[in-house]
Amino acid sequence: MVRRGLVSVLSVLILVGMMAISFGRVAAQDATPAASEKPLKVAFVYVGPVGDLGWTWAHDQGRKELEAAFPNVTTVYQESVPENPADAERVIRQFAQDGADLIITTSFGYMDPTINVAKDFPDTKFIHISGYKTAPNVATAFGKIEEPRYVSGELAGLMTKSNQIGYVAAFPIPEVIRGINAFTLGVRKTNPEATVKVVWTNTWYDPQKERAAAEALLDGGADVITQHQDTAGPQQAAEDRGAYGIGYNADMSELAPNAFLTAPIWHWGVYYKQAVQDILDGTWKSTQYWGGWKDGIVDLAPLASFIPEDIRKQIEDEEARFKSGEKDEFTIFSGPLKDQSGEVRVPEGQTMTGDEILGMNWFVEGVQGDIPS
Amino acid sequence: MASVPLLRGYRIERVPAPSRLATALVSLLSLLLALVFGGIVLALAGENPLTVYQTMLRGALGDWNGVAETLVKTTPLLLAGLGVAVAFRMQLWNIGAEGQLYLGAIFATGTALFLIPTAPGWVMVPAMIVAALIGGGLWGFIPGALRAWFGASEIITSLMLNYVAILFSEYLVHGPWRDPQAYGFPGTPTLPDAAWLARWGTTRVHLGLLFGLIAAVTLWVMFRRTRWGYEIGVMGENPRAAHYAGMPTKRTIILVMVLSGALAGLAGMSEVAGIGHQLQRNLSPGYGYTAIIVAWLARLHPFGAVLVAFLLAVLTVGGDQLQMSLGLPAAIAPMLQGTILFFLLGGDLLTRYRLTRVLGVG
């Protein structure tokens, strides 16, 4: 008993000691004068590792472009921040407290934590990617990735022989659902016979699971695989089976040289540089940015060299129409659009509104798969 | 397990009763060795180990915000860790704290959103606590009953039920409980204000921490002062003796598993009502699994669990700093955390077992 008491007392003493040291530190920090001429500090909160060659990698390219473009901008980042409220808010708050001027949170799960921290740091600016809540110092940003997805669907429709295309998809949320719809509409534009089969993985980042899902689709007869996932797993599955693959986020041709056709990709730097320029000019406002191919934030990776010349020509012409603005997101989601049951959801001559597209929760005709509800 | 042949002429045997002081000293030494080992790795990676450790400590305890966030992180680890410790005391290997945590969160959320959405705080919070205890307890009852009545391994059943619980939660937040205003994104609506646990000043430290401390004291009293607490220990150490002494083993197995699950369920409720204010995906980054480490390193002692949960929280919160302010690769922090745990558990093994020479062999 006596010994146990001793251990407890010791533990408490150690704790108290640590506290005392920490309070001493606070006092010391308060005494240091603020540095003048401080550079603009931009912090990034990432959901995956920067080496994923996927979503986080694409954002990190944007971060590097920022550093290259603005000599007086420094950047910091934290990788693989869990999307649970306890961890995400802690990391964001820490960046704010450490004096970041702009904090960019790059996954949907960071929405509420970003809003919460922003309330306590009114002088810090925040950009949340893919969400819908804003505040005077919180902007949101996303891109019309459906535009290159649609064109990649047109390519898939031309390349498939079995008329079955496999889609490895993360979560049944509007962002993913509208991507599947845009892709399928592209497929059916060039190949009305083809169907797109969807498998949900319930993860953004899991190389093994994504690969296994692609393999299941290939076993079921698909000969082109595409993905709304953050790793090259599905592309490698296509490579091993001699099928074709359309990736996401990055040019994955090195990882699947014989399979990889192209991929819808992001150029986040375009938007990040604009946002930082606005802050430096003093013109930054909380906006809900939703840029398209014409703005340069989304794009299609270079087409594989082995794509037949006539198909390449057709796809490149279509790319040009989106880049010029002749076609856009709303062209894709124009009537007539039927749902899976064949019912007309958008009549001929009508176009879905931005809000309808952003909240889409039904599959177009040609998609095989269910949206859990 | 009297002895295990390992080397020719040697065997590993259990140390009869390691002294408390020796145990504490070994733990301290293990921690020191882990820091030295981690330091070597850091030095090889071109970092100054002292700077790294100092940065971690400052991040976790260097200011009010750091201390507060460390306590926030301590809370679920403590509650779930206590739950696991209760079961482990009886040598019931409850691996299902993660699922029990989710069930507690689900029951508490359902209570606040659908059962009594307009109740005032003094009704709401206790009701959510009871709901969470029932939810987590139910998820402990199932493997407990299967074990008591049919002899099914609770290791397997409790582990499997984790997946059931997490997927059930996913179903709810993607389906029937989804916030209709959230553009189809998963997650329930925000809980009514009355369901929000009080916070300490402007920090995120919430009442859940108090739940954890109260639970620790209660368990300590239970283990030390009550007949039931004593019986649990006896039944765990020697089921046959307990049976002969007329102790109701089957009923106790079930009750202990219910209690174990209920505590983990409370952890889930406290995360929902104290931090997130909604049920959402990724509620727990594996608190229920880390809870096993908490229980084990604490040697199943309730106050030990307080210390260990705090230590693990320091490692997590401090670990953030390595990339945020030093720009180190994100893998460094988990590497250091893993090293420290490995050494602590290794030291634990060395206190409990020893290598002895066997005469007459070789």
* Alpha carbons A308 and B54: distance in angstroms, whole number: 60
Number of domains chain A contains: 2
Q: Which residues make beta-bridge pairs with A298? A: A266
Token duo for residue A184: 């399928």
Residues A248 and A333 in one domain: yes
Q: Do A174 and B62 touch (CB under 8 A)?
A: no
Residue A14 lies in a domain: no
Residue A172 lies in a domain: yes
Residues A71 and A174 in one domain: no
* Confidence at A37, pLDDT banded by 50, 70, 90: low
Residue B346 lies in a domain: no
| pLDDT surpassing 80 at residue B215 | yes
What pLDDT is attached to residue A22?
A: 43
Please write the tens of the pLDDT for every residue from A255-267. Answer: 999 999 999 999 9
Q: How many helices (H) and strands (E) does chain B have?
A: 13, 3
Chain A CB contacts of B76 below 8 Å: 86
What pLDDT is attached to residue A105?
A: 98
What pLDDT is attached to residue B11?
A: 78
Residues A332 and A356 in one domain: yes
Mean of the pLDDT values across residues B21-39?
A: 89
* Confidence at B235, pLDDT banded by 50, 70, 90: confident
Residues A128 and A235 in one domain: no
**Residue A213 in contact with residue A221, Cβ under 8 Å?**
no
What pLDDT is attached to residue A367?
A: 97
Please give the biggest Cα pair distance in chain B: 78
Place of tokens 């659902």: A177
Q: Which domain holds residue B295?
A: 48-327
What pLDDT is attached to residue B6?
A: 59
Please write the tens of the pLDDT for every residue from A193-240. Answer: 999 999 999 888 889 999 999 999 999 999 999 999 999 999 999 999
Interchain contact A108–B (C-beta under 8 A): yes
Q: Which domain holds residue A117?
A: 40-143+268-295
What pLDDT is attached to residue A38?
A: 73
Of B204, B284, B303, which has the smallest distance from its Cβ to A84's Cβ?
B284
Average pLDDT across chain B, whole number: 91
**ipTM value of the model?**
0.85
| pLDDT surpassing 60 at residue B266 | yes
* Confidence at B65, pLDDT banded by 50, 70, 90: confident
Residues A331 and A183 in one domain: yes
**Residue A168 in contact with residue A227, Cβ under 8 Å?**
yes
Residue B294: strand, helix, or coil: helix
Residue B10 lies in a domain: no
**Residue B73 in contact with residue B317, Cβ under 8 Å?**
yes
What pLDDT is attached to residue A30?
A: 41
Residues A242 and A284 in one domain: no
Please write the tens of the pLDDT for every residue from A275-320. Answer: 999 999 999 999 999 999 999 999 999 999 999 999 999 999 999 9
* Alpha carbons A272 and A104: distance in angstroms, whole number: 9
Mean of the pLDDT values across residues A318-336?
A: 96
CATH code for the domain in which residue B187 is found: 1.10.3470
| pLDDT surpassing 60 at residue A31 | no
Number of domains chain B contains: 1
Taking CA–CA distances from A6, the nearest residue in chain B reads B21
Q: Do B330 and A82 touch (CB under 8 A)?
A: no
Token duo for residue A154: 């047109």
| pLDDT surpassing 60 at residue A8 | no
Highest mean pLDDT among A175-189, B24-38, B218-232, B341-355: A175-189
Taking CA–CA distances from B176, the nearest residue in chain A reads A373
Query: What sign does the dihedral B200-B205-B210-B216 (CA atoms) show?
Result: negative
Residue A239, min C-alpha distance to chain B (Å): 30
Residues A172 and A253 in one domain: yes
Mean of the pLDDT values across residues A25-44?
A: 60
| pLDDT surpassing 90 at residue B243 | no
Of A18, A94, A177, which has the smallest distance from its Cβ to B320's Cβ?
A94
| pLDDT surpassing 60 at residue A21 | no
Interchain contact A172–B (C-beta under 8 A): yes
Looking at per-residue pLDDT, the higher value among A30 and B235 belongs to B235
Mean of the pLDDT values across residues B63-76?
A: 94
Taking CA–CA distances from B313, the nearest residue in chain A reads A87
Taking CA–CA distances from A10, the nearest residue in chain B reads B24
Of A4, A80, A97, which has the smallest distance from its Cβ to B330's Cβ?
A80
What pLDDT is attached to residue A36?
A: 42
- Tell me the pTM: 0.86
* Alpha carbons A199 and A206: distance in angstroms, whole number: 14
Chain A CB contacts of B20 below 8 Å: 3-4, 7
Residue B39 lies in a domain: no
